């Protein structure tokens, strides 16, 4: 699989996929998409990068270990559930903060944080699996 063509285009493809995955994540609440599917796209991008350029490179590019990203995702999803407790509403109730910015409506919310958590959990876990399987050395 390690052809020159693949190795040359793979970083570009991976970057595109990662940007696209964030786009899919953010549009998810109103258009097809969301954290889960975004996470799968992101993980595929990382897997492609890992196949083309080696696991060592991919791990270096990710800075932290992918399983840390997964743990972080579950953590912030749980945190987004706890935040509403401070507004004296039950666990995981959605809180919304909608405002105008240069004429466009921006909506921030705890479900968005939750969805980002889902995204991170999926990216982290799936890329852990993929990169672990791709590597044949000890730096998984």
Partner 1 sequence: MGPSIDVSIALVSVAPFLAALLAPWVKRFTGPLAGWVLAIVPASIFLFLAGFIGPVAENEVVRGGLSWIPAYGIAFSFFIDGLSLLFGLLISGIGVFIVIYSGGYLAGHPHQGRFFAYILMFMGSMLGLVLADNLFTLFLFWELTSITSFLLIGFDHSRQAARRAAYQSLVVTGGGGLVLLAGFILLAVMTGENSLTGLLTTAGLVQQHSFYLPVMLLIVAGAFAKSAQVPLHFWLPNAMEAPTPVSAYLHSATMVKAGVYLLARMSPILGGTGHWFWVLTLFGGVTLLLGGALAVRQTDIKQMLAYTTMGSLGLLVLLIGFGTKEAILGAVLYLCAHSLFKGALFMVAGNLDHGTGTRDITVLGGLREKMSVTFIAAVLAAISMAGLPIALGFFAKEEMYLAMVGGAWPDLLFLAVLVVGNALMMAVGVLIATKPFLGPLRPTPQAPHEVSPALFAGPVVLAVLGLVAGLFTGWLNVHLLDPTGGAIHNGAVDANIHLGLDPANPALWASVVTWALGALLVWRADAVRSALRRAGNAIGWTFDNGFDAFISGLIRSADAITRTLHHGRLEIYMLVLFIALALALYLPMIITGTLPAMPELAPLTFYEWGAILIAVLGLITVLLSVTRLAAIVALGVQGFAVAVIFMLFGAPDLAFTQFMVETLSVIILALVMTKLHLDARDHRMLEERVRDGAVALAVASGFAVMLVAVLGVDLDLSLTELFRATSTPIAHGRNIVNVILVDYRAIDTLGEISVVMAAGLAILAVIRVRFHEGRVPPARPAKSGPGRRRAKA
Given the complex with partner 1, which of 24 and 58 has the nearer CB atom? Answer: 24
Least CB distance from residue 91 to partner 1, whole Å?
A: 6
Residue 104 beta carbon to partner 1: minimum distance, rounded to whole angstroms? 15
| Cα(99)–Cα(48) distance, integer angstroms | 38
Q: Which residue's CB is nearer to partner 1, number 11 or number 71?
A: 71
- Report residue 33 as tokens: 């998409």
Pairing of the two strands 96-101 and 104-109: antiparallel
Minimal distance in Å, beta carbon 133 to partner 1? Answer: 4
- Residues paired with residue 100 on neighbouring β-strands, in sequence order: 105
Q: Shortest approach of partner 1 to residue 33 CB, angstroms?
A: 7
Q: What is the Cα 25 distance to its own chain's centre?
A: 8
Which residue, 18 or 121, has its beta carbon nearer to partner 1? 121
Which residues are at the interface with partner 1 (CB under 8 A)?
24, 28-37, 40-41, 43-44, 47, 51, 66-67, 70-71, 73-74, 77-78, 81, 85, 88-92, 94, 96, 98, 107, 109, 111-112, 114-115, 117-118, 121-122, 124-126, 128-130, 132-134, 136, 138, 140
Which whole-number Å values give the CA distances from 74 to 48, 64, 89, in the listed order? 24, 16, 21
What's the rounded Cα separation, in Å, for the pair 20 and 119?
13
Q: How far is the CB of 5 from partner 1 (least distance, A)?
A: 18
> How many angstroms separate the CA atoms of 9 and 12, rounded?
5
């Amino acid at each position: 699989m390690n052809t020159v063509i693949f190795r040359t285009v793979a970083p570009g493809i991976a970057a595109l996929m990662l940007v696209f995955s964030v786009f899919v994540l953010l549009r998810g609440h109103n258009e097809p998409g969301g954290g889960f599917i975004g996470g799968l796209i992101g993980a595929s991008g990382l897997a492609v990068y890992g196949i083309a350029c080696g696991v060592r490179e991919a791990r270096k590019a990710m800075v932290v270990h992918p399983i840390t990203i997964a743990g972080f995702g579950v953590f912030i999803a749980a945190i987004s559930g706890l935040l509403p407790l401070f507004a004296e509403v039950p666990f995981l109730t959605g809180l919304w903060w909608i405002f105008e910015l240069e004429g466009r409506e921006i909506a921030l919310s705890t479900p968005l944080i939750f969805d980002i958590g889902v995204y991170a959990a999926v990216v982290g876990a799936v890329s852990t699996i993929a990169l672990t399987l791709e590597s044949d050395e000890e730096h998984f």
